[in-house]
Structure 1
């Protein structure tokens, strides 16, 4: 009869497999796209035990945001707009090491904050926005973080939104800065 009785190690292994299997199954069920199963949200309201893998849901990104700049030369003419972060082919090594991504992330976060402030209508005038930290971050990047032609006196930046690869839709201008002197 003792041969049919499981050992203590087998019982512990079975308990661990049951626990982890139940956790995995509940995590998979929680990813159900229509969100009809509310019981799991009640069990883990803060999402500590059951992860949520829908990183961009429920509002996935459908637009690309761009930061462009141009310079005013000594004769008053303006250079063509240049994109600060043009789309480039990423290298496999950049999965592990891509230090330039930090500057890009700071600038993109500042752009997102400017857009949020503009949408909220908190500030009534462009001049009010020019004294915010996020505006100064973008101005500093456009002034010091980009190449300027010899003889450039002032610079200006632009925030635009596009639909990405869909070229039939024209980009939407979200914000145009004033011209600022270059050092």
Structure 2
């Protein structure tokens, strides 16, 4: 049988619609894996998410870590030294199979990314009105409460610092500095503590 005959029989006769649909899905799946944005058109029109995305790596992988530091304002008015919140735990072999404890680290990383994008567009004041900022404030507030107790601290200020992880040749870079925030949540319409 000639090649033209094989091709014709593949798209005609009994079960042809299934073969055509299968071939179309195969082509769309392979095309959707290409990193160029033009190939994402088929997935954009896929309202039922039938075309799988097997891109195992991010197109722009993170090469830096965010570090979070805070300093507290004591009831007497003194400001403490900066304290780091250690989010990145040392990696273990078992974490290659199950790493559920990484979820908070990833969540805070994503929240911080959202805050930094808002701050880049509209300044620090715009970022402070966003819910992602409020979630980060509550995370830091809870950490301070666990470490120092609520009555020992009047307010706090936090910083987000970008570092290259294990690459010590690159200096850490401060990216965001919050205003002083009261330890007790202000009432609705309340204002931040300033110092």
Under TM normalisation by the shorter chain, which class is it?
0.5 to 0.7
Superposed CA offset, 1:58-94 (max 9, x none)? 2122222222222233451313321241332346278
Selected match of 2:132 from 127, 131, 134 = 134
Between the two structures, name the one with larger relative contact order (CA 8 Å, sep ≥ 6): 1
CA distance 1:149–1:118, change in 2 (3 Å):
same
Hey, what's the Cα distance between the residues in 2 that align with 1:45 and 1:83? 39
Q: What TM-score comes out, normalization by structure 1 length?
A: 0.63
- Contact preservation (8 Å) 1:160, 1:175: yes
- Contact preservation (8 Å) 1:71, 1:148: no
Aligned pairs for 1:59-78 within 5 A: 59-73=60-74, 74=76, 76-78=78-80
Aligned pairs for 1:47-58 within 5 A: 51-58=52-59
Q: How many residues align?
A: 166
Superposed CA offset, 1:70-120 (max 9, x none)? 22334513133212413323462784473x544434322221110111222
Alignment match, 1:106: 107
> Please, which runs of 5 or more residues in structure 2 have no aligned partner?
1-20, 185-195
Alignment match, 1:88: 90
- Contact preservation (8 Å) 1:72, 1:79: no
Alignment match, 1:168: 169
CA distance 1:69–1:26, change in 2 (3 Å):
same
> Please, which runs of 5 or more residues in structure 1 have no aligned partner?
1-18
Alignment match, 1:117: 118
Hey, what's the Cα distance between the residues in 1 that align with 2:148 and 2:59? 44
The alignment yields a C-alpha RMSD, in angstroms, of 4.0
Superposed CA offset, 1:111-135 (max 9, x none)? 11101112223x5xx3343232111
Superposed CA offset, 1:147-169 (max 9, x none)? 33363322111112112211111
CA distance 1:91–1:80, change in 2 (3 Å):
farther
